Structure 1
Amino acid sequence: WRDAKFGSIANLIVLIGVVISFGQWQFNSMIRSELEVFYPVRPPVKKVIDTEMVATLPEPVQKWLLRSGCIGKEIPQRVHLLQKGEMRTEPDGAWMPVQAEQYFRVDEPGFLWIAKVQAAPFVQLDGRDKYMDGRGHMLIRLLSLFPVADAKGPATDQGTMLRFLAETCWFPGAALNDYIRWEPVDSVSAMAVMHYGGVEASGVFRFSPEGDLLAFDAMRYYDRKGGATLEKWHIANMQDSYRSFDGVRVPTRSEVSWLLEAGDFVWFKLKVSDIQYDEKLSL
């Protein structure tokens, strides 16, 4: 009986391992399928940025593009980057380590963000945030299997559009696309209004006098008990974190916060370790 008992435990452990492995395979297969649809077989025709293209933009945006080193370079159509950091779900919650990679498409704006979050010892959350064809979808699974979050709809569409807009800090040339309209605010700020797929969202970019992008602010839907509410969403880029990738100067450390009535809630701290522009996709 004793041998049978330990044999059953061993079999159970093996079964759990098989189930988790299947979940990871299934989740990764979904990501591969979405990437195949996301990136076209033939990339669109590229445009080289010149001074005439930026001359009509608000002065702070012009300074940003000049300082970033975009002039004379092509507007990237594909961007792939690697991230690491930590996040939490409550203002007093524990920080959870995050490893992520993100794929962007610029000509038809969109992204796929794939993350692994260590929620606790031996407990991993797999996340996929998607913005494609003007629609957003956030999916989070426990151990790649069990749904924790599955968000879609108008509030998610608006939120993922704002996220794309804010994250153009890593590929500044996207600021010149027709789906973004710029409006002056003051000597160091400009408002970007993005319209795509029947959805519109806007946010304010704030720059240093030299042209570094320091912050992005917008009103975004915040999930809470009783329903989502529009709240102030703030991204701060650390000015001492700027470095160049393929000659493009971008921030590599950022903090994402909700500025709530109850107080500021910093929920995500991230660091970008690598950026590739227009690389060939390997699945």
Structure 2
Amino acid sequence: MKIVALAFLGLVVLALAVTGAKAWQVARGNARIEAGLAASAPTPVRDDLPDAVRTFAERGMLGADPGGVVHLSQAAEMQRDPNGDWMALTARQVIGTRVAGFAWTATMRAGPVPVVRVLDSYADGRGILDVRLFGAWRLDAFEGDEAAVAEAARYLAELPWSPDAILLNRALVWTPVEEGVEVALETPGGTARVTLHFDAASDIVRMTAANRPAVQPDGTMRPMTWEGRYSEYREIGGRRIPVASEVGYIHDTGFAPYFRGRTLDYSVSASAPN
């Protein structure tokens, strides 16, 4: 029994050591993404936005000047499939404002032990989803052209958290449609498109995206209608943003969220002068 206990302890120590090393590698990767987003050339505020979009963004700025990179943290829960258990997580994210890009890192713990780590990112036209057990053993991976479109769509869907990007990112193509305003972004894998829906108070309360590539429980991919919902707008970190959100897909039985989260901390780094 003593030998078994020592062997188990050795495995735990090894797992924690590998986790620490992988966490360090992920941190370095995120730092590179963030540095790339922050180093992008300054751009002037756009003067060609649809009225509803400009009104939303300007109200979200609270009179401040646009910044370079958004930083936020979340407490959330995720579900791997509609019939699975919900798993609590904490996450940190950086979002580009002048160029399209983000890096979202999440950790799911069992007590003090970080059991699952997730990296979700889009940078330089490349989308990545990487899910690892103890930060080392890969559970899921998603790359390539479909990932580029899917992750670029996530960047577009999270514009309610970044009024700075609405005002500064000139790669975004805005088109008023009957349901709201569509925003599109070209990627190496094709065009990502998201429709933003406004309420009577001119807040973005919902986004939809038809035919977004979605990973299925069996590991295959198929296009599905994607939907996000935003609520509880308030001032945090110098911006007015929604602090509550949920995201999911439209199934035969209707909307089924796989993510529910709250923004805890928020800030925008200073931008270089134009």
- TM-score of the aligned structures, taking structure 2 as reference length: 0.88
Task: Report what 1:223 is aligned to.
Answer: 215
Listed as ranges, the gaps of 5+ residues in structure 2 are none
The question of 1:100 aligning with 2:91 is answered yes
**Structure 1 CA distance for aligned equivalents of residues 161 and 116 of structure 2:** 26
Residues 181, 192 of structure 1: 8 Å contact kept: yes
**In the alignment, which of 50, 57, 60 is matched to residue 52 of structure 2?**
60
Task: Report what 1:179 is aligned to.
Answer: 171
User: Residues 4-60 of structure 1: CA distance to partner in whole angstroms, max 9, x if unpaired?
Assistant: x41x123213311221122212211212221332233874454564xxx44x32222
Identity between Structure 1 and Structure 2 (%): 24
**Structure 1 CA distance for aligned equivalents of residues 23 and 165 of structure 2:** 29
User: Residues 134-159 of structure 1: CA distance to partner in whole angstroms, max 9, x if unpaired?
Assistant: 11111111122211012111111111
Using the TM superposition, give the Cα deviation of residue 259 of structure 1 relative to its aligned residue in structure 2, in angstroms.
0.5
More relative contact order, 1 or 2 (CA 8 Å, 6+ apart): 2
Query: CA 1:262–1:155 in 2, change beyond 3 Å: closer, same or farther?
Result: farther
Q: Secondary structure at the match of 1:24?
A: helix
**Which structure has the larger Rg?**
1
Using the TM superposition, give the Cα deviation of residue 97 of structure 1 relative to its aligned residue in structure 2, in angstroms.
0.5
Amino acid at match of 2:21: Q
User: Residues 227-281 of structure 1: CA distance to partner in whole angstroms, max 9, x if unpaired?
Assistant: 311111000001xx1111343110010010100224322111010001111179x
Listed as ranges, the gaps of 5+ residues in structure 1 are none
**In the alignment, which of 22, 42, 52 is matched to residue 17 of structure 2?**
22
Q: Give the alignment's Cα RMSD to 1 decimal.
A: 2.5
**Structure 1 CA distance for aligned equivalents of residues 28 and 114 of structure 2:** 26
**In the alignment, which of 200, 223, 232 is matched to residue 225 of structure 2?**
232
**In the alignment, which of 39, 54, 60 is matched to residue 34 of structure 2?**
39
Query: CA 1:119–1:199 in 2, change beyond 3 Å: closer, same or farther?
Result: farther
Using the TM superposition, give the Cα deviation of residue 120 of structure 1 relative to its aligned residue in structure 2, in angstroms.
9.5
Q: How many residues align?
A: 267
